[in-house]
Amino acid sequence: MAKPDSDILDQAPPAPKPMSLASKAGVFTLSRAVTIITQMLAGVVLAHVLTKQDNAVVSYLVLTLYTTALAFGQLGLPDSVFFFFEKLPPANRKAFTLLLSKMLFLLAFGAAAIMLTVGWLGASREGFGEVRTLVWVMMAMLLLELPTMHLPNALIALDRTKAAAWFNIFTGMAQFMAMTIPLLLPDPVAAIPFGLLIYGGLRLSVSAGIYRKLFKNEPLVTLPERTMREVLHYSVPLSLAQIFWVLNKMVDKQVVQWLLPSTVFAVYNSGAIELPIIPTIAYTVSAVMMTQLVGHHLRGERPALLALWFKSVRKVSVIVLPLVMIFLVAAEEFIALLLPESYADAVVPFRIYTFILLQRVASYSNMQKALGSTSAITRSAIYLFLINAVLSVPLVLWLGMAGPPLAALLANVFSWWYALRNIQLLLKVRFREVFPFGFYAKALGVAALAAVPVIGLKLGVELPRYFGFFILAACYLPIYLLLARAFGTIEESDWQRLMNKLGFLRKK
C-alpha cells in the first residue's frame, strides 16, 4: 500500500525515483542559506570598511530603495508559477514562463519610476544627497534583474530543485562580489551600484541560458485566451500583499531615517533584521511542497493536505525554534562578532526582531496561495503594515531605537493569528485543528528550557569577543538535542537521520 502524503517528508526513495520532498527541501534550503550568508557577509564587510555615513548611504540605496522597488515591480507574478504550472497543460509552460519574463520587464519601468521618486525625496535628508546620482544606476539594474525573478520557482515546479539551488548560490556569490570588490576602489560608494549593475547583466545572461536549455525541445504554443486574466486575478492580490510586506519592513527604517541622526540609522539598519536564514527554512520547505499542496486542494483532498501541512510544521519547528533561541540568548555576542564596537547598540533592534522569528515555523502565505485565497493574504499584509506604521512613530519618540521593532513585533503577532484564522475558514475546520499548537508549545518549551544553563554560563563567565557566540551555540545545541529526545519532539526517524549525517551511525 502506498504511503500517505503526510509521511512524504520522511521518505528516502531509491535512486531511480525523483527526490523526496525532504531532500528537495534540504537542497534548496542549503542553497538559500549560502545566498543569505553571503548577503549578510557583504553587509558585515561594508560596516567594517565604510564610515557610518557612507554605510548609511549604501544601505538606504540598496537595502531600502532597491528592495522596495523590486517588490513593487513583481506584481506577484513569480508566485503564480506554482499554481499555474500545476493547472495548465505541460505544453503551455514554456510560453507561460516567457510571458512572465516579458511582463516583468515592462513592470520594471514602473518600479524604476517609483525608485526615482522615493529616492529623490529621501535624498533631501542631510547626508543622503549622493543618492540622487546613484539611483539612476540602480534603476537600470531593475531592468536586468526583475525579468528573471520567477526562474527559481519555475525550476522547482519542474522538479529541477538542484538547478534552482545552484542558481541561488550563483546569485548570492555574484552579489557578494558586486558589493565588496568596489571597496578596493577610491570611491566605493559610487562604485558599488555599478558592481551590482554588472551582477544584473550576469544574472540576466545566465537566466536566458537556463530558459533555453530548460525548454529547448518544446514548441512555443499559444496560451489559452483567458490565461492572462486568470493570472492577474491570482497574482494582483499577491502583488499588493508583497508591496505591503516590503513597506512593513521599510516603515521602521524610514521612521528612523527621518527622526534620528544618520549615524543612528546606520546602526539601526544593521540590527533591524529578521535573521533571514531562519524564515527561509519554512519558506523553502513550503516552496518544494507547493505542487503537492495545490494538487491536494484541486482534488479536494483536505485530510491529505492538512496532514502534509502539519508534518512540515512539526519538522520545521524542531529546527527553527532552537535556532531562534540561540540568537535570543547570544544576541550581544552575535552583534559583536559581526559588527564594529561602535555598532553595539544594534543588538536592541536585533533581539526584538528575533522574537518575531518564533512564529516562522511555516509559510502561511504559501498555504493560502495553495488554497487559491490570495485576497486574504493582501488584507493580512495591509493590516500588518497599518499596525506597524501607526505604532512606529509614537514608539520611536518614546523608546528611541527600541520603538519601531516593538511595533513590528506587535503587528506580526496579529498577522499570525489572522493568517491562521483565514486558513481555518478555507479548510472549514476548528481553529485548534488548523495548526499543531500542542506540539509547537512543547517544542518551544524544550528550546527555552535548553537555554537556561546557557544563560547561566553567559552571566557567570566573561566570554571572548569573537568566540562568545560560538561557545554559547556549542553549549546550547547538545543540551537541546538531549532534551528534545527526552521529551520526544525529535522523532526516532529524524534522530537516526541526524546521527547518520553526523557520522555516528551508518546506514545499512
Nearest to 215 by CA among 152, 289, 156, 155: 155
Q: What is the pLDDT of residue 14?
A: 42
Q: What is the pLDDT of residue 1?
A: 41
Looking at 11-20, 44-53, 89-98, 445-454, which range is the least confident one?
11-20
Count of all residues that appear for the chain in the document: 508
Question: Could you give the CA distance from residue 197 to residue 222 in angstroms, rounded to a whole number?
Answer: 34
Strands (E), 161-285: none
Q: What is the pLDDT of residue 23?
A: 53
Grid coordinates representing 501 are 549525517
Q: Which residues form the domain of 50?
A: 18-224
H or E segment to which residue 403 belongs: helix 403-427
How far is residue 157 from each of residues 10, 24, 79, 97, 162, measured CA to CA in Å? 20, 11, 11, 11, 12
- pTM recorded for the entire structure: 0.67
Q: What is the pLDDT of residue 503?
A: 56
Mean pLDDT, residues 291-295: 79
Burial of residue 183 (CB within 10 Å: 0-12, 13-18, 19+) is middle
More confident site: 445 or 115: 445
Q: What is the pLDDT of residue 5?
A: 43
Average pLDDT, the chain: 81
Q: What letter does residue 79 receive in the DSSP assignment?
A: T
Burial of residue 160 (CB within 10 Å: 0-12, 13-18, 19+) is middle
**Angle between helix 374-399 and helix 403-427 axes, rounded to 10 deg:** 160
Q: How many domains does the chain have?
A: 1
Question: Dihedral of the CA atoms 149, 155, 156, 161 (nearest 10)?
Answer: -120
Looking at 148-157, 350-359, 368-377, which range is the least confident one?
368-377
Domain assignment of residue 41, yes or no: yes
Mean pLDDT, residues 143-157: 87
> Is pLDDT above 70 for 466?
yes
Domain assignment of residue 372, yes or no: no
Report the 3 state secondary structure along 47-103.
HHHCCHHHHHHHHHHHHHHHHHHHHHHHCCCCCHHHHHHHHCCHHHHHHHHHHHHHH
> Is pLDDT above 70 for 31?
no
Mean pLDDT, residues 472-484: 93
Summarize pLDDT for 228-269 with one digit per residue, the tens.
788 877 777 777 777 787 777 777 777 876 777 666 777 887
Give the pLDDT band (50/70/90) at residue 3. very low
Q: What is the pLDDT of residue 472?
A: 93
Terminal C-alpha separation, the chain: 24
Summarize pLDDT for 73-87 with one digit per residue, the tens.
887 788 777 778 777
Domain assignment of residue 109, yes or no: yes
Domain assignment of residue 289, yes or no: no
Question: Could you give the CA distance from residue 388 to residue 404 in angstroms, rounded to a whole number?
Answer: 8
More confident site: 477 or 118: 477
Mean pLDDT, residues 368-397: 85
Domain assignment of residue 124, yes or no: yes
Question: Could you give the CA distance from residue 405 to residue 224 in angstroms, rounded to a whole number?
Answer: 46
Domain assignment of residue 121, yes or no: yes
Question: Could you give the CA distance from residue 399 to residue 11 in angstroms, rounded to a whole number?
Answer: 50
Q: What is the pLDDT of residue 351?
A: 92
> Is pLDDT above 90 for 445?
yes
Whole-angstrom Cα Rg for the chain = 23
Q: What is the pLDDT of residue 494?
A: 63
Give the pLDDT band (50/70/90) at residue 24. low
More confident site: 22 or 269: 269
Domain assignment of residue 92, yes or no: yes
Domain assignment of residue 346, yes or no: no
CA angle 256, 262, 268 (to 5 degrees): 50
